[in-house]
Structure 1
Amino acid sequence: MYIPWNFHEVYNGRYLFNGQRNITRFIELAASNQLFVLVRIGPYICAEWENGGLPWWLIRKYNDIHQRTSDKRFLKEVKVWFDVLLPILNAQLLKNGGPILMVQVENEYGSHYACDKVYMEQLSDMIRYYLGTDIIQYTTDGSSESYLKCGTTTNAYPTIDFGPTTQQNVNAYFAMQRHYAPHGPLVNSEFYPGWLVLWGQKKQNLPSITEIIDTADYMYHLGANINFYMFHGGTNFGYWNGAETTAPVITSYDYTAPLTEAGDLTPKYLAIRNWLANKSDWPYKPGKIPRDNLKIGYGSVKLKEILPLGKHFWELISASQNCRTTKYPISFEQLEHPFGFVMYNTRLKFDGTNLTIPLMKDRGYVIIDNELQGVLVNKFESYSKHWMDLRGARVGAVLGILVENQGRQTIPTINDFKGILSNVTLDGEIIDDWIQCGLQTKLIVSLAWRAKEWSYLNENKNGIGLYMGNFYANRLADTFFNPINWGKGQVFINGHNIGRYWPSVGPQITLYVPKPFLKHNNTIIVLELEHAGNCQKQFCTINFIDHPIFNFTESQNNYA
């Protein structure tokens, strides 16, 4: 069980443990199903999660902070967080009648450049202080010498992680663990039955079911302990996806796990279940096979464009409280706007053609008055674009740049500032006097409702902007939002930020929408950034279907 620090302390000093953040309820639910819990408290968790679980505000408070090290500023903030978190977990420890069996120190720290043993010892000491000297601490690292050398610490039991492989490799990996843990169990604390997916990915390198079962069976034969990661897929709702150096992680965290992100059974699940059921010495026999949750395709939904990205969009958001006027552009962090989008706006004081922004993260949608000029890209796979030639960039024209934070980098850990991070020039001359406004989910939803009765369709030549529609669900069930033929954007249903869609790039096409997000009368709002799809004169359409769609264009079944 990962606990992302930034999910519970989105803003410094304001803690959230309600609703989806109720970790006590989650742990109790595990106990009620006769499960032990391995808690992974971080402070860094990886998990392909936004910033690896580290709060964005750390780099706002200390822009040169060395995260995941013994930097006193970082350890001070971790201690404040652990002061809140660890007493909550204490009541759920096994020794106190709860299901928490072990607590992980950091996460795959051996993969981090710092190799700071003092830092790891400090974390371990904090855990001992709050949870007791008898609590079982452990570390998880890759199975090589360099990973274990830097990732282990004195009072924590070293474990390793690896996916399906040969018996020879399993022996070698556990031999390396045994070198650092001469006594105690062999443990694969992250056994991978699948893998993550990035936007733009063309193929998956996945293990076969036979490879999964053969490796698991051999580890079982050795008496090793096995923890599947992931066993149940998940979803990066809202803006919670992380990113790698080349591309962001998709909204789905299905991971091709034995149970899908919607909780459905897969052939992997049935194979693992049958494998365990046939183990005569395995005391926990599987129960009845559960039924999949109901999925309903609610069909086509008409969306009306209510607010194009342009001057009126800017006029409405500039009245919000999350705006600042500065001589030069500021970052998301300086604006204290953590995720999603920031709109940068200025009125040009001189004519020009060539717009250049040397450093901007991650994508910038450039608009002159009401016309989309193009998209600047910091880096996507091997592509980047930091300049463009503008049309209509004249004195008095309104230049708007909508910048999207596509998710802070998960690994390696960096101080991942977002937004416009350099001067903006037009034909080499610096553009100054900017207003920047953050677009919170509540603001986007309220903008849609305020603009609903107005019509700016004659302003929009691009199809980018806010769209809104309604649909009725006679019976509530899980469903999948299908934006095929649309470009890229964000979707909100009944105020819930479902996540990012990008069918023009893929491989994920549909977004999972769980039943609890729906009502009988539903409102859908779409922020489209590239081009709307399936449009007629007065409206465009999207669909809700009863199954997910991914469009991997190449197939490969070899796992590495």
Structure 2
Amino acid sequence: IKMLMANQLIVILPLLLNCGSVLDSHSAPSFSIDRENNVFLLDGKSFRYISGSIHYFRVHPDQWNDRLSRMRAAGLNAIQFYIPWNFHEIYEGKPRFDGIRNITRFLELAMRNELYALVRIGPYICAEWENGGAPWWLLKYKDIKMRTSDKRFLDAVRRWFDVLLPILKTNLRKNGGPILMLQLENEYGSFDEGCDRNYTIFLRDLARRHFGDDVVLYTTDGGDDSYLKCGTIPGVYATVDFGPASPEAIDHCFASQREYEPQGPLVNSEFYPGWFLTWNQKQRGDQPVHNVINGSKYMFEKGANFNYYMFHGGTNFAFWNGGATKTAITTSYDYFSPLSEAADISDKYLAIRDWIKTIKNWPNPPKSIPKNSPKLAYGVVKMQKIGSLVSDDTLRLITTRRPILSRYPLSFEELQHPFGFVAYRSKLVIPGGNLTISVIKDYGYVFIGQDYQGMLVDSFEEYEKRWILVRGHVGDDLTVLIENRGRSVSTMNDFKGILSNVTIDGMIMVDWMHYPISFPHHYDEMIRGFRTLEKRKIEERRLSAYGTPGLYIGHFIARLQQDTFISPQGWGKGQIFINGFNVGRYWPNIGPQVTLYVPSPIIRKRNTVMIIELIGASNCTSPKCAIEFVDHPIFNFTSISIKNNFHRNIEIENL
């Protein structure tokens, strides 16, 4: 839970989820708190920050420097970011810090851009991220209690921190790096499952063992005693978070911080210039510019330090979006931030920059306004259906492991499969009937043979559909392709897959083959395999099959490498890959996101687009299927009814 303030009322929004000063050669680098004067001290001198959140894991690494330089140009003197444990340790015991996971390089670029860093190390981060940042493999212990002193959780955290924290230690301010302070956990006072002091003290002591006693550790919680009473940790500096609000509401939040920190600087660690989006959201999450500026001015006049969450939101590429209550976070994490998803300059950015420019003796005065990156509409790309989603040939190409046989269905976690999709297959023992799956997480696409029957939904907003009438012949393959829409950001043991028996007319189906699908890991080999299938015409594709669920491939030539947006209008629901890069999920009929942002570094001279279409494309009833690249994002916020397998015609709003 994060807090927004408006019109003197505290509104709880539940989840449905600089190095500008030159170091004095006579003083050692340091960062500390001067409680007597209610300020931070940087290298022994009074220091304040106006920072902005940016998540390296939501930005293509080739664009890190561009985004950081734009933040510096606005006049910020620090950045704030989370470290998602599950992004680095997808598989237990195999942590990665390469490419987009190279935290050291990201910190080096921040320092190069005169930006200090406030680092939020977790282990829980929320961030509207898959499982709140906790690794899926913790769920091998079905009764594990994450974010508590459950020994199994603490042991895993200790092993992870023993890898991560030494990397961060070398980048601390006292060691010549940009990191000023580090946040433990995240909004723990909002955790519904208890108030485990042993757990939070464990985090404190583990961090102290690695960093020493002279490093500033902090917590962040909502600006009210109801959050701070469980979120604070003895010996760790307590900060608050809240959005644009009346002066009285801001005073209340800082007064709440003062109850726990009578002396020391005032800090708002998350000041919200916007908000995230979930699928089927009907209202924009924006904040008026004047509200953001008025709140910024008032906090600054009170002597506060604060962080814009987010200053640049970025993108939930691949399967990394988190699940929310009966829905999920969209692929776009634009957040209505001062810098858009494509890092374009907004009116909000200009207003913040103009205000910071008026601050006397500010250490990081704004620089010239950066130009927006060029966007290119590459136009229409013809798409060819190259395979059913569930044929033997397709499953052979899109899985990297042998199928797993079990008498009853296994969960993603039991299959040791992190994200995305698993195909569950059994044989019909009667010609058909009422197929029922009482617990299915999250969406199930049902096929008899290769013929699509419809979509099962555990819950999506007010809509549920856990049964479907199927028709076939005894011995036909029944395949249920399960999509994991993202584990809950609240980290509540959110198991995925078929989690109950499957019945037809009350008869339990047994002997299931499981096909864990791993698109990203062997993309080029998979594409070559599909081309071979196409040439040999192994898989018959009738004219009537176009537009049905399946894999579609198209190619285009790009003379310039520019940012772009791919528009799946007319398509149903699925996943888009460009040159093997998993751009993310699309669901234009539900919205509000329609287009997907495509960063320029993934564009080549010769490009391949692959679409995993899950429910059928209404504009694709012949071999002339197509998808279009445009030069601007498109969102819709039209109210629609969620019925009839989620198909609806909606009006589109261009932004």
Q: Structure 1 length as normaliser, TM-score?
A: 0.96
Deviation at 1:15, TM superposition (A): 1.1
Q: 5+ residue gaps in structure 2? A: 1-80, 640-655
Mapped contact 2:404–2:515 kept (Cα < 8 A): yes
Q: Which amino acid aligns with 2:335?
A: Y
Q: Which amino acid aligns with 1:499?
A: G
**Percentage identity across paired residues of the two chains:** 53
Tell me whether 1:415 sits opposite 2:493 in the alignment: yes
Match of 1:400 in 2: 479
Mapped contact 2:398–2:517 kept (Cα < 8 A): no
Mapped contact 2:107–2:178 kept (Cα < 8 A): yes
Deviation at 1:105, TM superposition (A): 0.7
Q: Which amino acid aligns with 2:129?
A: W
Q: Which amino acid aligns with 1:110?
A: G
Mapped contact 1:308–1:456 kept (Cα < 8 A): no
Match of 2:34 in 1: none
Deviation at 1:214, TM superposition (A): 0.5
CA distance in 2, matches of 1:86, 1:322: 37
Tell me which of 449, 456, 459 is aligned to 2:540: 456
Change (3 A) 1:310 1:91: closer
Change (3 A) 1:224 1:112: same
CA distance in 1, matches of 2:330, 2:420: 14
Tell me whether 1:426 sits opposite 2:426 in the alignment: no
Secondary structure, counterpart of 1:252 in structure 2: coil
Mapped contact 1:533–1:541 kept (Cα < 8 A): no
Match of 1:481 in 2: 566
Cα displacement string for residues 32-59 of structure 1 (whole angstroms, at most 9, x for unaligned residues): 1111101101000000000000000001
Q: Which amino acid aligns with 2:496?
A: K
Mapped contact 2:572–2:614 kept (Cα < 8 A): yes
Match of 2:403 in 1: 323
Tell me whether 1:128 sits opposite 2:186 in the alignment: no
Tell me whether 1:84 sits opposite 2:169 in the alignment: no
CA distance in 1, matches of 2:266, 2:401: 55
Tell me which of 583, 587, 592 is aligned to 1:507: 592
CA distance in 1, matches of 2:575, 2:285: 28
Tell me whether 1:358 sits opposite 2:435 in the alignment: no
Deviation at 1:243, TM superposition (A): 1.3
Deviates more, 1:271-280 or 1:465-474: 271-280
Change (3 A) 1:194 1:523: same
Tell me which of 218, 237, 240 is aligned to 2:317: 237
Output the aligned Cα RMSD.
Answer: 1.5
Secondary structure, counterpart of 1:378 in structure 2: strand
- The number of aligned residues is 551
Secondary structure, counterpart of 2:321 in structure 1: coil
Match of 1:557 in 2: none
Match of 2:73 in 1: none
Tell me whether 1:339 sits opposite 2:423 in the alignment: no
Mapped contact 1:491–1:525 kept (Cα < 8 A): yes
Tell me which of 472, 497, 518 is aligned to 2:582: 497
Secondary structure, counterpart of 2:634 in structure 1: coil
Q: Structure 2 length as normaliser, TM-score?
A: 0.82
Q: Which amino acid aligns with 2:509?
A: I
Match of 1:524 in 2: 609
Secondary structure, counterpart of 1:353 in structure 2: strand
Deviation at 1:391, TM superposition (A): 2.1
Q: 5+ residue gaps in structure 1? A: 555-560
Mapped contact 1:306–1:448 kept (Cα < 8 A): no
Cα displacement string for residues 477-498 of structure 1 (whole angstroms, at most 9, x for unaligned residues): 1111111111001001111111
Cα displacement string for residues 346-387 of structure 1 (whole angstroms, at most 9, x for unaligned residues): 112233301111101000000011211111101101111111
Deviation at 1:90, TM superposition (A): 0.5
Match of 1:438 in 2: 516
CA distance in 2, matches of 1:483, 1:461: 16
Tell me which of 257, 262, 269 is aligned to 1:182: 262
Mapped contact 1:345–1:399 kept (Cα < 8 A): yes
Match of 2:627 in 1: 542
Tell me whether 1:148 sits opposite 2:238 in the alignment: no
Cα displacement string for residues 509-531 of structure 1 (whole angstroms, at most 9, x for unaligned residues): 01011011111000111000111
CA distance in 2, matches of 1:177, 1:167: 15
> Superposition pairs for residues 84-233 of structure 1, below 5 Å?
84-113=163-192, 114-233=194-313
Mapped contact 2:425–2:479 kept (Cα < 8 A): yes
Deviation at 1:316, TM superposition (A): 2.8
CA distance in 2, matches of 1:100, 1:234: 22
Tell me which of 372, 376, 381 is aligned to 1:296: 376
Q: Which amino acid aligns with 1:88?
A: I
Change (3 A) 1:322 1:102: farther
Secondary structure, counterpart of 1:477 in structure 2: coil
Deviation at 1:261, TM superposition (A): 1.4
Match of 2:462 in 1: 382
Mapped contact 1:46–1:52 kept (Cα < 8 A): yes
Change (3 A) 1:345 1:318: farther
Q: Which amino acid aligns with 1:457?
A: R
Change (3 A) 1:116 1:5: same
Match of 2:37 in 1: none
Mapped contact 2:546–2:622 kept (Cα < 8 A): no
CA distance in 1, matches of 2:363, 2:454: 61
Cα displacement string for residues 126-153 of structure 1 (whole angstroms, at most 9, x for unaligned residues): 0000011111000000011121000000
CA distance in 1, matches of 2:240, 2:577: 39
Deviation at 1:446, TM superposition (A): 4.1
Match of 1:71 in 2: 150
Cα displacement string for residues 90-122 of structure 1 (whole angstroms, at most 9, x for unaligned residues): 000000000000000100000012211110000
Cα displacement string for residues 312-339 of structure 1 (whole angstroms, at most 9, x for unaligned residues): 4565359742521111110011111100
Match of 2:637 in 1: 552
Mapped contact 2:293–2:351 kept (Cα < 8 A): yes
CA distance in 2, matches of 1:462, 1:353: 26
Change (3 A) 1:466 1:314: closer
CA distance in 2, matches of 1:140, 1:371: 51
Deviation at 1:74, TM superposition (A): 0.4
Mapped contact 2:285–2:336 kept (Cα < 8 A): no
Deviates more, 1:372-381 or 1:448-457: 448-457
Deviation at 1:197, TM superposition (A): 0.3
CA distance in 1, matches of 2:390, 2:209: 55
CA distance in 1, matches of 2:602, 2:438: 41
Change (3 A) 1:176 1:322: farther
Deviates more, 1:301-310 or 1:428-437: 301-310
Secondary structure, counterpart of 1:364 in structure 2: strand
Match of 2:651 in 1: none
Deviation at 1:283, TM superposition (A): 3.2
CA distance in 2, matches of 1:345, 1:450: 22
Mapped contact 2:399–2:515 kept (Cα < 8 A): no
Match of 2:336 in 1: 256
CA distance in 1, matches of 2:399, 2:247: 64
Change (3 A) 1:211 1:320: closer
CA distance in 2, matches of 1:29, 1:286: 18
